[in-house]
Amino acid sequence: MANKPDYPFDRLEYGETIEVVPGIHWIRMPLPFALNHINLWLIADGDGWTIIDTGYNTDETRQVWEKIFDDLLDDKPVKRIIVTHFHPDHVSLAGWLLEKWDAPVWMTYSEWMQAQLNRYGGPTADIDARMEFYIEHGMEQSGIDGYRETRPDFSKIILPLPTGFRRMIDGEKFPIGDHNWRVITGAGHSPEHAALWCKDLNVLISGDQVLPRISTNVSLQCNEPDGNPLRLYLDSLEKFRDLPKDAFILPSHDRPFYGLHDRIDALGEHHADRLDAAVEACAEPKTSRELIPFLFKRELDRHQLGFAIGEAMAHANYLVADGRLSKAHDEDGLIRYSQVQ
């Protein structure tokens, strides 16, 4: 991808914080994955603080939070916990923070519901259906075994969530401290991801929807086999084009950056290239599993294979909806995609 983000800050150490905009503190928390960190934000909110995203439920994350509460809060309470989306690195400590601060959790409706479902075992309970879905799309047994072994059990990782929440709606504006913020929802990575835009500060908290270097994971899910998450994702990206070119972007991974519009262009080109590669590969019918080497040039470990097949299926379904590929359930039980002549 050709864009070169402009990073005004050096990388932080885990648990280190820095005020990147007056009143907005950047926190870098560890993650126990190949993607080894997540950025969280602490915003001065009048007589208290608002937290954006909670981190992954590990002892280390909780210890870092405790240290931040001791060192940074100036004896003011956390008044609100905003969660951009349901993924465990963002939501899993929401219940813990709420219990600690008695502060409401703000989320969009779909993200809230999905978090509740995961918390009560959804993806763990439907793991057999999920595996069958991957097998239909050509995943080999070692990939299936790898997925089963490496998939975290969200019902254990996400701590109990409160039974009520404050719903955020697309376009809604609300103040945090002295400034108004607007909710910009997006889909494709998760069902109703909330990004937050502050015109006064010229700052976008982009969550996982826009990341400076890695491309956001967009995967087809087994509960929506004919879905088109890549279309949803690309349409969602376009919503950020209305923001100024010099907006300062605070993403959930990597570092705060400038260069939003170049990044949107680069992501569009990246997916267009992958879509073309998938069409070319389907001159002979291919399963989504067989498409992976055409879409990902690097070696993938077993954990990454699960993400990769999700992405391959998302690209293939996009092309079916676009009329460039057709999808057939073959007699051997596999789903294959072919060029439309």
- Which residues bind to Zn ion, rule: CB under 5 A? 87, 208
Q: Which of 29, 144, 37, 158 is nearest to 105 (CA)?
A: 158
Report which DSSP code applies to 6. Answer: B
Phi first, then psi, for residue 70 (nearest 5°) are: -70, -40
Q: Give residue number: closest CB to Zn ion.
A: 87
Instruction: Give min distance, CB of 131 to Zn ion, in A.
Output: 22
Q: Reduce the secondary structure of 239-271 to three states and give it as a string.
A: HHHHCCCCCEEEECCCCCEECHHHHHHHHHHHH
**Maximum Cα–Cα distance across the chain:** 67
3-state secondary structure of 82: strand
Instruction: Give min distance, CB of 123 to Zn ion, in A.
Output: 14
Q: Which of residues 81 and 278 has its CB atom nearest to Zn ion in the complex?
A: 81
Q: Which of residues 44 and 204 has its CB atom nearest to Zn ion in the complex?
A: 204
Q: Which of 201, 212, 204, 206 is nearest to 186 (CA)?
A: 206
Instruction: Give min distance, CB of 34 to Zn ion, in A.
Output: 14
**Amino acid residing at 276:** D
Q: Which of residues 252 and 288 has its CB atom nearest to Zn ion in the complex?
A: 252
Q: Which of residues 3 and 206 has its CB atom nearest to Zn ion in the complex?
A: 206
3-state secondary structure of 122: helix
Instruction: Give min distance, CB of 38 to Zn ion, in A.
Output: 9
Instruction: Give min distance, CB of 90 to Zn ion, in A.
Output: 6
CB 247 within 8 A of CB 203: yes
Instruction: Give min distance, CB of 329 to Zn ion, in A.
Output: 31
Instruction: Give min distance, CB of 311 to Zn ion, in A.
Output: 14
Q: Which of residues 87 and 130 has its CB atom nearest to Zn ion in the complex?
A: 87
Work out the angle between the directed axes of helices 141-150 and 127-136 (0-180°, nearest 10). 150
Q: Which of residues 45 and 208 has its CB atom nearest to Zn ion in the complex?
A: 208
Q: Which of residues 87 and 286 has its CB atom nearest to Zn ion in the complex?
A: 87
CB 38 within 8 A of CB 55: yes
Q: Is 213 exposed, middle or buried (0-12, 13-18, 19+ CB in 10 A)?
A: middle
